[in-house]
């Protein structure tokens, strides 16, 4: 597992205010850098970055970072845009990773039993009638 702030990490993001897409890179020091935006790009301190979903790994719209400092130098094509992650990734020594589980199919006999219940009228001999009320 790699933290978003690691030097080897890059995440495609979108600026919420403008819809502009770019890539945020870890700097290895707890900060991120938003790269490949022109020096005259419409980016402001405080802009929120969310995942764009273009990488196929993260769904779009997950909060990632906030722009905290912008260096615009007209002698360079791109601005240097520094961001802080919204999660305190540098403050925790442990994380929990949840692996999405695929929907579990019913075993064949349970599925056929469920289908039989739907096809037969209520109160059939040999089967107790079930109430439609939910018990919590």
| Domains assigned to the chain | 10-85 (2.40.10.350)
The pLDDT of residue 58 is 78
| pLDDT at res. 76 | 84
- Quote the DSSP letter at residue 58: S
Q: What is the pLDDT of residues 33-79, one digit of tens each?
A: 998 888 888 999 999 999 998 888 878 888 899 999 999 887 888 88
Q: How many helices (H) and strands (E) does the chain have?
A: 1, 6
Across 14-18, 45-49, 130-134, least confident range: 130-134
Looking at residue 104, its pLDDT comes to 61
The neighbouring-strand residues paired with 69 are 82
CA distance readout (Å), 83 to 14, 41, 133: 13, 15, 52
What backbone torsions phi and psi does residue 109 show, to the nearest 5 degrees?
-70, -35
Provide the pLDDT confidence category of residue 136 given band limits of 50, 70 and 90: very low
More confident residue, 24 or 130: 24
Nearest to 13 by CA among 46, 76, 57: 57
Res. 134: pLDDT tops 60? no
pLDDT at position 125, please?
53
User: Strand, coil or helix: what is 108?
Assistant: helix
DSSP string, 66-95: EEEEEE--TTSSB-EEEEEESS-TTS-S--
> Sign of torsion, CA 109 115 117 120?
negative
pLDDT at 89: 60
SS3 59: coil
């Amino acid at each position: 597992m790699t933290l978003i702030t690691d030097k080897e990490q890059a995440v495609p993001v979108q600026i919420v205010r403008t819809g502009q897409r770019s890539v945020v890179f870890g700097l290895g020091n707890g900060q991120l850098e938003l790269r490949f935006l022109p020096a005259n790009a419409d980016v402001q301190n405080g802009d929120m970055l969310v995942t764009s979903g273009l990488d196929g790994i993260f769904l779009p719209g997950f909060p990632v970072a906030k722009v905290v400092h912008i260096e615009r130098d007209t002698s360079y094509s791109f601005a240097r845009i520094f961001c802080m992650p919204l999660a305190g990734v540098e403050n925790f020594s442990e994380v929990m990773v949840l692996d999405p589980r695929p929907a579990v199919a019913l075993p064949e006999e349970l599925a056929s039993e469920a289908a039989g219940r739907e096809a037969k009228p209520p109160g059939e001999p040999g089967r107790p009638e079930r109430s439609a009320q939910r018990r919590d």
